């Protein structure tokens, strides 16, 4: 097989990926930020963001994707997302209850509204996106002992 | 809500926070995962003791997460049974965390172990504290998936095979539990346990409740490893690392299996004769099958795993009798079994740490070289066999007395027979492993490190002092409070609702 | 509402669940067992969403803050949120299963569960 196949897929796929991967990332961020006014939220947006990185890896080979989001950075984002979600929940204690909605709630349907829900969405997006990408990297790049020779 | 009731969500949030912090910072320093793990489990243990005091002072505590209007929000309910289970889970978790400081040095990536361990503890605490059906399922899955990963932790051949089989059967059980919850929700239109009990009592149980109850019994019975759903336990518990075997056998099958089964079948669905008969039969079957299969075992941990099945049979038998004495005996045996079974598994882990083998026929005379391990395992063996004055004797006596009192002499006979066979089995363990002549290959064996000894001695002390839990003042606060909750059955709903309104 | 045509989705979903459980219990290939588990889990999620359905209902999204249209004839939104949680749980379980299966292949060299039987007794 030609050397092209070692570094990803064919030229057409690479060109189309160049055009779409940024849009996919942006779409994922849109779904996360509008999670409290339209369907979606943290989990769905996080999956789409992870998919954009996986798309990059599938089209260009693993070097290109790992350069942009290495395993240690993915691990860091994942931990940050989890800790910040728990911190937001514990912040509810300032209002007297665990997980209480203590931030300002604006008008329903506006972008800056609904208290802590957008913040929770962002935390979940970090965790899910980085986690899913980490799972993919771990499963795909797993080197068996037999192959390490 | 009083300030004290804030401990209810903290019992879940603290191990969860510990797990996330270990995942984030675990690679920075070598001592950091140990310290965070110890701190989180110690904090959870202290909180559980406060929880017992809180329930004794205030009765049932209902905490609505996020201050939402009940029953539309998620409720966390702390009553006598929850406080009892919290203490059981957290004391074992704390002592096992102490044990793993030294034991898990052999494995690389200790921080991964502590992350999964604290996640499992958080899941178990959540199962015990929650008052909402779907929340029960979510926490159950958290604890179960963490335990699948922990069984496979060493990634050796046997561990992976055992983990795969455990995971397949466990997820089958979880799916059936979810299906049962779906049926109950579609019938009652509510997820809050108290509200569901109220609606079921008002609307009458139809056939769908029978179907949901059967599915839930199947699912929770599979988690509790009651016969005939026990097939995963003899593979999974021996293959896990010793502290995880202690956690799995000691608290996971009780918190996820027996507690959830009792909570749903007693407090939500209410009393049904067919459920009671099924529980009695399952309990007796587990007792007998477990102990018969254990007699021929030469692998130490596999023998202990079969005895777990048998002792869980005692607990289910006690609870299935549905008399005050029976439920008291069943719950007391649940606590005792957590203590002495964890001690036995930790002892087997200590033996494996020093000698490298689990085969009873190869060991011999280890008491000379490992006095602490030998004496604590002797204490635990006498407890599980029901020798007075250790704690196992009291709880088995209460169960047998309750069986005789409610005219179930057949079950009482089987209980006594199983107890005698357990005694025989553990005499074999002690003779082959610890007493007898010291084999030549074990001449250079040393005692295990300090932390492992510390946790084993602490558990042995609890074994000896366990009978003190039957003193009238202590019993009223701890055991009877738990037994009364189950006995009251669907009156739980009335009490919870009166707190809410 | 109890015509057989109206009951078909529920029956078919439970049939899908039985297929998944059959795959989990009977098939010998590890990957087929995992796929069986995934099918069974999707079937339960689908059944949950179907249990929320109301004939003639609309989707439970507030696309406008107009008070008159609020909550008029919507299907039950609670199972939708619960199914989202259940899907995430299923994802985590599947990822763990696949990781265990890959390591199993590395250690045993086969995907046949009948040959991966060293623990017995």
Q: What secondary structure does DSSP assign to B464-489, as a single string?
A: HHGGGGGSHHHHHHTHHHHHHHHHHT
- Among candidate residues C31, C28, C24, C25, the one with its CA nearest the CA of residue C116: C28
What's phi and psi for B130, nearest 5 deg?
-75, 155
CA dist B183 to B205, B218, C44, Å? 12, 14, 11
Residue whose tokens read 């052999």: B106
- Of residues B62 and C45, more confidence is placed in C45
b/e sequence B149-161, b meaning 16+ C-beta within 10 Å: bbbbbbeebebbb
Q: Is the pLDDT of residue A3 over 70?
A: no
Token look-up 């704390």 returns B94
**Do B161 and C41 make contact, defined as CB atoms within 8 angstroms?**
no
Residues B429 and B351: their CA atoms lie apart, in Å, by 12
Cα–Cα distance for residue pair B312/B358, rounded to 1 Å: 23
How many domains does one find in chain A? 1
B327's CB contacts (< 8 A; 6+ apart) are B318, B319, B321, B483, B486, B487
From the list A80, A96, A99, the residue facing B24 with the nearest CB is: A80
Mean pLDDT throughout A74-97? 83
Topology (CATH) of C4-108: Helix Hairpins (1.10.287)
Q: Are B184 and B220 in contact (CB under 8 A)?
A: no
Is the Cβ pair A139, C98 closer than 8 Å? yes
In a domain, A31, yes or no: yes
Interchain CB contact of A146 with C (< 8 Å): yes
* Nearest by CB: C44 against B138, B164, B175: B175
B219 contacts B256 by C-beta, under 8 angstroms: no
A146 in any annotated domain = no
Residuewise pLDDT in 10s, chain B (501 residues): 566 777 888 889 999 999 999 998 888 888 888 889 999 999 999 999 988 888 888 778 888 887 777 767 888 888 888 888 999 999 999 999 999 888 888 877 788 899 999 999 999 999 999 888 999 999 999 999 999 999 988 878 888 888 999 999 999 999 999 999 999 999 988 888 888 888 888 888 888 888 999 999 999 999 988 888 888 888 888 888 889 999 998 899 888 889 999 888 888 887 778 888 888 898 999 989 988 888 888 888 888 999 999 999 989 998 888 888 888 888 889 999 999 899 999 988 888 888 877 787 777 777 777 888 888 888 888 888 888 888 888 888 889 998 888 888 888 888 889 999 999 888 888 888 877 777 777 777 777 788 888 888 888 888 888 777 777 777 777 777 777 777 777 677 777 766 655
User: Percentages helix, strand, coil for chain C, rounded to the nearest 5?
Assistant: 65, 5, 35
Q: B235 to chain C nearest CA, in Å?
A: 7
DSSP for A76-104?
HHHHHHHHHHHHHHHHGGGGTSTT---S-
- Whether residue A108 has pLDDT greater than 50: yes
The average pLDDT across A56-61 equals 87
Contact B244, B112 (CB under 8 A): no
Mutant choice from A75, A84, A98 vs B, greatest count of B C-beta within 10 A: A98
Nearest-angstrom CA–CA distance, B110 and B30:
9
Q: Which two tokens stand for residue A58?
A: 């599938």
Residue B473 neighbours by CB under 8 Å, 6+ apart? none
List the 44-83 stretch of A: residues with Cβ below 8 A of B.
Answer: 76, 78-80, 82-83
How many Cβ pairs within 8 Å bridge chains A and C? 23
Q: How many CA atoms are closer than 13 Å to the CA of A36, on its beta-carbon side?
A: 19
Q: In this structure, are residues B244 and B153 in contact, taking their beta carbons and an 8 Å threshold? A: yes
Give the pLDDT score at B395. 87
Q: B212 — contact with chain C (CB < 8 Å)?
A: no
The answer to whether residue B171 neighbours chain C at the CB level (below 8 Å) is yes
Instruction: Give the SS3 label for residue C118.
Output: coil
- Per-residue pLDDT at A149: 35
DSSP for B192-205, written as a single string: BHHHHHHHHHHH--
Give the structural domain span for A17. 3-140
pLDDT > 90? residue C13:
yes
Interface check A89 vs B, CB under 8 A: yes
* Residue C70 predicted with pLDDT over 70: no
Q: Alpha-carbon distance B226 to B217, whole Å?
A: 10
pLDDT at position C2, please? 62
**8 A C-beta contact, residue B424 and residue B461:** no
Q: How far is C85 from chain A (nearest CA, A)?
A: 9
Q: How far is B80 from chain A (nearest CA, A)?
A: 22
Two structure tokens written together for B227 = 């016969």
Element at A135 (helix H, strand E): helix A117-140
For residue B414, give both structure tokens. 């089987």
Q: Are B463 and B375 in contact (CB under 8 A)?
A: no
Q: How far apart (Å, rounded) are the C-alpha atoms in residues B436 and B427?
A: 12
Instruction: Count CB-CB contacts under 10 A for residue B247.
Output: 28
Do the chains contact at A138 and C65, CB–CB below 8 Å?
A: no
Beta strands B61-64 and B75-78: pairing type?
A: antiparallel
Which of B13, B64, B67 is nearest residue A89 as measured by Cβ atoms?
A: B13
Decide if A149 is inside a domain.
Answer: no
Give one word for B73, left, alpha or beta, with left for phi > 0 and alpha for psi -120 to 50. beta
Domain coordinates of chain C in residue numbers? 4-108
Helices vs. strands in chain A: H and E counts, helices first: 5, 0
Contact A82 B20 (CB under 8 A): yes
A113 touching B, CB under 8 A? no
Is there a cis peptide before residue B364, judged by omega within 30 degrees of 0? no
As for the ipTM of the complex, it is 0.93
**CA-CA-CA-CA torsion sign (B368, B370, B372, B374):** negative
- DSSP letters spanning B126-177: HHHHB-BHHHHHHHHHHHHHHHHHHHTTT--HHHHHHHHHHHHHHHHHHHHH
Degrees to nearest 5, angle at CA C7 with C3 and C9: 145
Q: Do C41 and B175 touch (CB under 8 A)?
A: yes
Is B239 an interface residue toward C (CB < 8 Å)? yes
C-alpha dihedral sign at B301, B303, B309, B314:
negative
Give the 3-state secondary structure of residue B63.
strand
Contact residues, chain C, for B141 at CB < 8 Å: 89, 93
């Amino acid at each position: 097989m030609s050397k092209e196949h070692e570094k990803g897929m064919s030229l057409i796929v690479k060109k189309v990926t160049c055009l779409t991967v940024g849009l996919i990332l942006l779409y994922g961020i849109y779904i996360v930020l509008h999670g409290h006014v339209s369907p979606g939220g943290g989990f769905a947006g996080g999956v789409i963001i992870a998919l954009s990185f996986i798309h990059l890896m599938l089209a260009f080979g693993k070097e290109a994707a790992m350069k942009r989001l290495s395993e240690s950075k993915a691990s860091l984002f994942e931990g940050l997302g989890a800790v910040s979600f728990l911190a937001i929940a514990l912040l509810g204690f300032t209002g007297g209850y665990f997980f209480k909605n203590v931030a300002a709630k604006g008008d329903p349907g506006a972008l800056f509204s609904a208290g802590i829900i957008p913040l929770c969405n962002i935390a979940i997006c970090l965790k899910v996106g980085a986690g899913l990408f980490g799972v993919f990297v771990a499963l795909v790049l797993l080197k068996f002992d037999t192959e390490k020779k | 809500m009083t300030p004290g009731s804030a401990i209810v969500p903290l019992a879940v949030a603290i191990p969860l926070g510990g797990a996330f912090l270990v995942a984030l910072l675990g690679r920075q320093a070598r001592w950091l995962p140990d310290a965070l793990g110890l701190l989180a489990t110690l904090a959870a243990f202290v909180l559980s003791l406060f929880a017992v005091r809180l329930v004794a002072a205030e009765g049932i505590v209902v905490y609505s997460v996020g201050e939402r209007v009940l029953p539309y929000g998620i409720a966390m309910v702390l009553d006598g049974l929850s406080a009892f289970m919290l203490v059981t889970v957290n004391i074992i978790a704390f002592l096992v965390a102490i044990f793993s400081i030294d034991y898990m040095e052999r494995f690389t990536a200790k921080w991964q172990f502590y992350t999964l361990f604290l996640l499992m503890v958080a899941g178990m605490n959540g199962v015990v504290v929650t008052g909402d059906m779907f929340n029960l399922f979510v926490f159950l899955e958290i604890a179960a998936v963490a335990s699948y990963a922990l069984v496979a932790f060493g990634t050796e051949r046997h561990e992976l095979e055992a983990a795969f089989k455990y995971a397949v059967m466990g997820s089958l059980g979880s799916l059936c539990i979810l299906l049962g919850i779906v049926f109950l929700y579609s019938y009652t239109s509510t997820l809050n346990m108290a509200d569901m009990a109220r609606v079921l009592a008002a609307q009458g149980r139809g056939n769908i409740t029978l179907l949901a109850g059967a599915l839930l019994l199947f699912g929770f019975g599979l988690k509790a490893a009651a016969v005939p759903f026990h097939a995963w336990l003899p593979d999974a518990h021996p293959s896990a690392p010793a502290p995880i075997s202690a956690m799995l056998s000691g608290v996971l099958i009780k918190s996820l299996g027996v507690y959830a089964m009792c909570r749903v079948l007693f407090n939500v669905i209410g009393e049904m004769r067919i459920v009671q008969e099924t529980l009695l039969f399952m309990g007796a079957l587990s007792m007998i099958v477990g102990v018969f299969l254990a007699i021929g075992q030469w692998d130490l941990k596999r023998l202990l795993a079969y005895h777990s099945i048998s002792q869980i049979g005692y607990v289910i038998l006690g609870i299935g009798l549905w008399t005050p004495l029976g439920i008291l005996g069943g719950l007391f045996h649940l606590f005792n079994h957590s203590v002495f079974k964890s001690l036995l598994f930790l002892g087997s882990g200590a033996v494996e740490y020093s000698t490298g083998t689990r085969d009873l026929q190869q060991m011999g005379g280890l008491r000379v070289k490992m006095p602490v391990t030998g004496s604590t395992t002797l204490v635990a063996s006498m407890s599980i066999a029901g020798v007075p004055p250790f704690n196992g004797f009291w709880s088995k006596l209460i169960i047998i007395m309750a069986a005789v009192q409610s005219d179930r002499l057949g079950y009482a006979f089987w209980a006594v027979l199983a107890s005698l066979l357990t005694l025989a089995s553990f005499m074999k363990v002690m003779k082959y492993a610890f007493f007898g002549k010291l084999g030549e290959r074990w001449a250079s064996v040393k005692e295990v490190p300090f932390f492992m000894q510390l946790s084993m001695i602490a558990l042995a002390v609890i074994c000896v002092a366990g009978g003190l839990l039957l003193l009238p003042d202590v019993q009223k606060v701890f055991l009877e409070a738990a037994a009364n909750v189950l006995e009251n059955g669907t009156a739980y709903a009335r009490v919870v609702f009166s707190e809410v309104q | 509402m109890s015509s057989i045509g109206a009951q078909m989705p529920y029956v078919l979903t439970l049939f899908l669940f039985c297929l998944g459980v059959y795959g989990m219990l009977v098939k010998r290939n590890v990957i087929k067992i995992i796929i069986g588990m995934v099918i069974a889990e999707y079937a339960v999620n689908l059944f949950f969403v179907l249990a929320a359905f109301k004939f003639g209902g609309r989707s439970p999204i507030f696309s406008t803050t107009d008070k008159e249209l609020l909550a008029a004839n919507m299907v039950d939104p609670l199972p939708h949120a619960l199914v989202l949680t259940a899907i995430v749980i299923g994802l985590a379980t599947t990822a763990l299963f696949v990781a265990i299966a890959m390591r199993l292949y590395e250690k045993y060299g086969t995907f046949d569960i009948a040959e991966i039987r060293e623990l017995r007794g």
